[in-house]
Copies of this chain bind each other. A is one copy, B any other.
Amino acid sequence: MHMNKVISCSKAVEMIPDGATIMVGGFMGVGSPHRLIDEMVRQGRKNLTIMANDTAFEDIGIGKLVAAKMIRKLITSHIGLNPETQRQVIEGEIEAELCPQGTLAERIRAGGFGLGGILTPTGIGTVVAEGKQIMEVDGKQFLLEKPLTADFALIAAHRSDYRGNLEYSLTARNFNSIMATAGRTVIVEPEHIVPTGVIPPDAVATPFVCVHHIIGRA
């Protein structure tokens, strides 16, 4: 017998307080935890800090959190396909930190893996470098970008076993497997839950030790 990590969507969202810092998986809505997002909107959280690649579209994925004005701060690489996010950012309703996509992914990984930051050539000589430390290593310049962690990581997966081993599907993987390492509490919304042992060790993309709660069938 082993611990059952499955909980309901509403119970999971009840754990998340106003003001929480939350990583949300997905890329333009693909591979986002849609049921968790809908439940967040239903329960009405506010003042959230959201870290995510993008805010999708106005009526899809993380865009719904924007539309419901639940976000105080946003760390993201792209908001160009969501005019409402741009409006809230330009009008100062959301404080936005724009971060190059590859840097964002590495910063989250660094947070999850205990590294003090990353040294990247991306952003050198651009506005992204403003106020940041430049490091010279063997004659080349790199920007020091700091690690990111979050109170919660809300991720989506294709399959989970009852222990929390995860498989992803194609481009729905994106930031999910990385965020799974960097949330202090990691909640996964899988499309399917299978008996433990069904996912072979080599097919596991996120090992069960990273996952704290699994959202059960609707």
Contact = CB atoms under 8 A, between A and B. Distances in A.
Interface of A: 106, 110, 114-121, 135, 137-138, 140, 142, 144, 146-147, 158, 167-170, 173, 201-203, 205
Contacts of A202: 158, 167-170, 173, 203, 205
Counted per complex, copies of this chain come to 2
5 contacts: A110-B119, A115-B118, A117-B135, A117-B137, A167-B202
A200 to B, nearest CB: 10
A203 B203 contact: yes
A134 to B, nearest CB: 10
A138 B24 CA distance: 24
A205 to B, nearest CB: 8
Contact of A116 (B114, B116, B120): B120
